[in-house]
Each structure stands twice: as structure tokens, then as C-alpha cells.
Amino acid sequence: MKVFINPGHDIKYDSGAVHYDADGNVDLRECDVAAKIGTAVQKYLEAAGCECYLMQSDNLAPTSAGRSDYDDRQGITVTETANEWGADIFVSIHCNASSGNARGTETECYSKTGDGGGLARFIQSQLIDSIDTGDRGVKEMPELLVLRYTDMPAVLVETAFIDNDDDMLLLVQHWDDIARAIARGVTDYVQSIF
């Protein structure tokens, strides 16, 4: 099974959502959390016999045409790479953000009735069973580029709300539990289709 792992955002160009400390300084960035979890997911899936390809979302510089073109392009570049590689499964890893009050974990897919919906349910179930998080469920998000333009079952995992103090602690203290849960969700899905 070939699994494409896409940690969201980029260290140099688009760090994604952030958490601020008491002094108003950024003390945790989505890109760093996603990279750490994604690397561990790769390790666990390779140990389970999967072939993995890991690509951070924005591994290219912004174009001179502007941010919106860059945002669209990076999502398409990731999906083109996954499609050309011949991935069987696509997993994008992110941290959610809101007003600082929202908590929980959700897994997004193109359609709940498709194969991506099945993959999302397995991953969401493992996450809810593994960490102290709120179950925000599986959500359809067909407008997301990484779900719309992938040829294989694809999900985007919103691990926790990085701007919520309690969820931030989950991301810092239980990132490995999150990675193991995502990997188990993938292997559960694989077993379900064979």
C-alpha cells in the first residue's frame, strides 16, 4: 500500500495557524506540529509494511503573481505529486484554529459515502479512542484542493485546535499518540478493503 503523507503548511512561507503564549509571542506553529506528526506517521506506516511519500504542503516559493495563486498552486502541486507517484491513500495533517475556545478533532473528506469517507471514519475513530479530545466528527469538504484533486481516497486530519490552550497541550504532549492513531486508522482502512 502506497501512502502519501502531507504535513500541512510550510516552515518558510506559510506556517499556518499558531498558538500565542501569555506575552503574545508565537510559541507553537501548525507547520512544525504537522511535520513532527507526519514524520512519525511515516515511520509507523513503514513499520507496518506501507510504502510512504512525505511532502510538506508548501515545498515551493510563493510566485510573484501573489498569495492566492501560491495557495492554489501549492495544493495542486501536492496532489499532482501524489497522483503521479500512484498513491493508494492520501493523508494531509493539520491543526485547526478558531477563536481560542473551540476544541476537538475532525477528519475531513471529499464525500462521506466514498472511499475517502471510509478512511476518514477509521482515522477519526482511532484518534477519539487514543487522545482526550472532543469528537467533531467526519466532515465533507469537497472544496479543499487536496481532497478535490487527488485520484485516491484522501483525508485532511484536523488534529486539534492549536489556538486553544488545552488542545495545544495535546499537540505538544501527545503528538506521538496522534501519529500512532492516524497510522492505525490507515491500516484499519487497508484491512477493511482486503
pLDDT of res. 60: 42
What's the pLDDT at 15? 86
Task: State the pLDDT at residue 48.
Answer: 97
Q: How far apart are CA 130 and CA 161, in angstroms?
A: 16
pLDDT of 47 > 70? The answer is yes
Confidence band of 72 (pLDDT split at 50, 70, 90): very low
Position with higher pLDDT, 6 vs 73: 6
Res. 186 pLDDT band, cuts 50 70 90: very high
147 residue type, one letter: L
pLDDT above 50 (res 67): no
Q: Which residue has better confidence, 73 or 106?
A: 106
Q: What is the pLDDT of residue 74?
A: 47
Three-state SS for 105?
Answer: strand
Tell me if 111 sits within 8 A of 155, measured CB to CB: no
Checking if the pLDDT of 69 tops 90, the result is no
- The answer, yes or no, to whether residue 75 has pLDDT greater than 60, is no
Judged against a pLDDT cut of 90, whether residue 57 lies above it is answered with no
104/31 Cα distance (integer angstroms) = 18
Q: Which three cell numbers stand for residue 129?
A: 479512542
| C-alpha span between 85 and 176 (Å, rounded) | 27
Question: What does the pLDDT average to over 158-182?
Answer: 97
Average pLDDT over residues 46-71: 67
DSSP class of residue 63 equals P
Q: What is the 3-state secondary structure (H, E, C) of 109-170?
A: ECCCCCHHHHHHHHHHHHHHHHCCCCEEEEEECCCCHHHHCCCCCEEEEEEEECCCHHHHHH
Q: Helix 165-173 crosses helix 175-193 at what angle (to 10 degrees)?
A: 70
What's the pTM?
0.91
- pLDDT at 64 > cutoff 80: no
What's residue 99's pLDDT? 84
Percentage of residues of the chain with pLDDT beyond 90: 80
Supply the mean pLDDT for the chain: 90
What percent of the chain clears pLDDT 70, i.e. is strictly above it?
90
